[in-house]
Structure 1
């Protein structure tokens, strides 16, 4: 999960604590929304104001609200925030601030009994990692912080 702001207007936001008293946008029903609720409780307990959270059906709606000045920051999965920072407005709309939190691997779901497909996917991903193409792709999208060194079965558990 990462925090992103309008480029050139980060208002000193670097951490979750900096969001106390601010308004953020998130996608409804996501880890980002859950994290915002948790961090809001910390702000309230510390008497630093609350994090006003506006939830949307998708990240694009949340980004539109932030872009238009309707919020101080957005919170999304790191790859989503990185993609928005790289592409929205030609890379001029947003920037990621602070460190990502609650990092977790993404995965590809395969029926438990389909070991042949599972192994084929793992081998293909490992090949892309080993031949350097994976590194080029994650560098292009500026998501190196989430890089893995090998494909794992049930690696997130």
Structure 2
């Protein structure tokens, strides 16, 4: 899951419930909890199927039970996890959340907003939950509950054939693109910069972009020599650009993604955790991952507030 675009156009779109299969993303795992402005655009999933568990719905806030709607914030800038295709929000996270909503017996209403506004949107009761490739970390757990649902690491991407011979472990002096506000931007690259300085080498030329799409385009266009992003996003970027890019090095620093829930709503967090376990058993979880190539990040347990760094 972080400063991402702060201005959006309002729109109303519909995404399917359960593991809706979309067509074709930010790792959004930043350590920031800062608030952000930014308009939001809402989308509402279809009505849940007959697999709803009434006992789980009863664990949700009374306002959600009464309305039958779970308000979920996301930042649709991080394909294949959450992104806009035309006027429709799609992605792996969206399919997972729709399956959870169906199990809870509620409709899921998405608000597409700036990434750095999502956690404060949850704490401020704008959203009942948020899903947007949020890496679970200790700083976030101070403010909200987080329910683990996936595992992702960091991956580097270079031009096809790696003509510049980029080594992720020795990128000093190279132009490297990244999405602003991600763990890669806020944690990974600063550490690499310090290593470059300590070795007396030139600093990495960091090109920071509000959207992952722009960070990827910089490599395709040759403006940067490499980029780094969450592993599923990097792999998807390579796939979408055909023969223009390739992965470089191994996936590292794997960490869990979490669905964000207000700190006080411990029962709701547990309901989401249980719903995730149930969709894992009935196949909807796997069905949500497979179209996006997300199988390698699947988890078998969905704890609330797991230990985090």
- The answer to whether residue 192 in structure 2 is matched with residue 36 in structure 1 is no
- The answer to whether residue 225 in structure 2 is matched with residue 72 in structure 1 is yes
Unaligned runs of 5+ in 2: 1-153
Structure 2: distance between partners of 1:99 and 1:52: 22
- TM-score scaled by structure 1? 0.81
Please state which structure has a larger fraction of its residues in strand: 2
Deviations 1:97-138 (A, max 9, x none): 212233221111112333443233112211232344434544
Asked if the contact 1:55–1:62 (Cα under 8 Å) also holds between the matched residues in 2, the reply is: yes
How far is 1:156 from its partner? 4.7
How far is 1:42 from its partner? 0.7
Asked if the contact 1:15–1:98 (Cα under 8 Å) also holds between the matched residues in 2, the reply is: yes
Structure 2: distance between partners of 1:69 and 1:75: 15
**Is the partner of 1:108 in helix, strand or coil?**
strand
Structure 1 residues 100 and 6, CA gap change in structure 2 (3 angstroms): same
Which among 161, 174, 183 is matched to residue 8 of structure 1?
161
Counterpart in 2 of 1:130?
281
Q: RMSD of the alignment, in Å?
A: 2.4
How far is 1:25 from its partner? 0.4
Counterpart in 2 of 1:96?
247
Please state which structure has a larger fraction of its residues in helix: 1
Structure 1 residues 115 and 30, CA gap change in structure 2 (3 angstroms): closer
- TM-score scaled by structure 2? 0.44
**Is the partner of 1:106 in helix, strand or coil?**
strand
- The answer to whether residue 205 in structure 2 is matched with residue 49 in structure 1 is no
Structure 1 residues 137 and 116, CA gap change in structure 2 (3 angstroms): same
Larger radius of gyration: 2
Q: How many residues are aligned here? A: 154
